[in-house]
Amino acid sequence: MAEKDELLRQIKALEAENAKLKQATSGKDTSKKTTATIGMWKGFPVIQFEGNFRPFSIGLKKAAVILEKIDDVRLFVSSNQNRLASAPDDQA
């Protein structure tokens, strides 16, 4: 398990370095800090995310499910990292 964690850490470090290199060579600043804002929608708590993507919100129950399955989410993202830059909801 520790070996897997170390590999994931190394992958994330390489991905961050790759993103910096891509940004440096593209000549345009595509970085926009991702923010999370807590609010209410029809009397229910939501969290809204904004950044280099189309803004989206999730409610409390969906956030709880994500936390319950956070390891699956991490695996999903790391397994599809090569497709992240071309994801259709990117704001270029």
Residue 90 has pLDDT above 60, yes or no: no
For 1-92, where are the E strands, in sequence order? 35-41, 44-51, 53-59
Q: Nearest-CA neighbor of 47 among 29, 35, 31? A: 35
The pLDDT score that the predictor gives to residue 92 is 46
**Tens-place pLDDT, residues 55-83:** 999 999 999 999 999 999 999 999 999 98
67, amino acid identity:
L
Of 39, 19, 28, whose CA–CA distance to 81 is shortest? 19
Using DSSP's 3-state secondary structure scheme, residue 69 falls into coil
Q: What value does the mean pLDDT take over residues 1-19?
A: 85
Rg (CA), the chain: 16
| Residue 15 backbone dihedrals phi, psi, to 5 degrees | -65, -40
Domain boundaries along the sequence of the chain = 33-92
pLDDT at 63: 97
pLDDT in tens, 15-46: 888 887 777 666 555 578 999 999 999 999 99
